[in-house]
Amino acid sequence: MLIILLPLFIGIAIIGYMVAKPYVREYKRDKVRSLPFKKEWRKIIQQRMPYFRQMPTDLQLQLKQHIQVFITEKEFVGCNGVNITDEIKITIAAQACLLLLNRKTDYYPKLKTILVYPSAFIKEQNQRSADGTQSTRKISLSGESWDFGKIVLSWQDSLHGAELPNDGHNVVIHEFAHQLDQENGSANGSPILGKDQSYQCWSHIFSKQFEILKRQAATGTPSIFDYYGATEPAEFFAVVSEVFFEKSKQFSLEHPALYKQLTNYYKVDPIHW
């Protein structure tokens, strides 16, 4: 009888574990968020992120709590001689968690590991020419987001992005926007939207602006968005996310419909910071 019932008990235990797992995880996160934020961590944010002091008090508190959970759950790995310090972890986490404010979050659930290089890193990329010939070229990257648990970042560029919050370029925001985009599969420029947003409206506005940027890139017409955003919809979403947080006023004036989509998605309006 015991042998017959054993699979049933195991099945019940597995189901119970799966049902309880989200609640246990959230309980642990609440405990982490309730811990005092270390003074040395706050000093790092104030030194490395100039606009932190301009953020509303409630967002400052949210950001600090998110940082605490983020660095508890994610593994930082130094590459090419990088020694992972609190400065590296807090500076990167603070920028990544800007994208999580004011909304329910599972803290980039696919992401497990952040690989940090001292500066831009080299990657070999395979490519096929029009005649079918395959070749390999080496490219220099400041960041890369994988859809199976890893992000790769240049510390030099991550630091530069934090210290210059108004230039419209931020590699951490860019790569973590990709992570949001990848939560529902491969990155395609359409992340999981809130219940108050329409995928049809999002697609219409983003597609229109994406085509405009493609034409601007082809003709060399100036744009607030980096031409890299014209390569594919996923890159467009990541590029406009950078500009949303770093050049919000100009963005809202030049592209109000697109800006509105992002304020609805990110649940913040950086203009008021």
pLDDT digits (tens, 9 = 90+) for 111-133: 999 999 999 877 755 555 555 55
Is position 261 within any domain?
yes
Q: At what angle do helices 39-48 and 155-163 cross, to 10 degrees?
A: 80
Residue 89 in tokens: 């972890």
What's the pLDDT score for residue 270? 95
Tell me the average pLDDT of the chain.
Answer: 89
39 pLDDT higher than 60: yes
Q: What angle do CA 242, 243, 248 make, to 5 degrees?
A: 130
Please report whether residue 196 resides in a domain: yes
CATH, residue 261: 3.40.390.10
The parent domain of residue 82 ranges over 35-125+135-272
In which order are the strands placed within the sheet that holds 75-78?
75-78, 113-117, 150-154, 143-145
Query: pLDDT digits over 162-220, tens only?
Result: 998 899 999 999 999 999 999 988 899 999 999 999 999 999 999 999 999 999 999 99
Contacts of 144 (CB under 8 A, 6+ apart): 123, 151, 152, 175
Domain-located, residue 93:
yes
Has residue 106 been placed in a domain?
A: yes
Residue 9 reports pLDDT greater than 90:
no
- Residue pair 55/63 in contact by the 8 Å Cβ criterion: yes
Q: Which residues contact 82 (CB under 8 A, 6 or more apart)?
A: 88, 116, 117, 118, 155
Is 18 a member of any domain?
no
Among 18-22, 71-75, 200-204, whose mean pLDDT is lowest? 18-22
Q: Residue 17: its pLDDT value, please? A: 40
Of residues 22 and 110, more confidently modeled: 110
How many domains, in total, are found in the chain?
A: 1
Confidence of residue 23 (pLDDT cuts 50, 70, 90): confident
Residue 255 contacts by C-beta under 8 Å, 6 or more apart in sequence? 209, 224
Q: How far apart are CA 228 and CA 216, in angstroms?
A: 11
- Which sign does the torsion angle of CA 79, 80, 83, 86 carry? negative
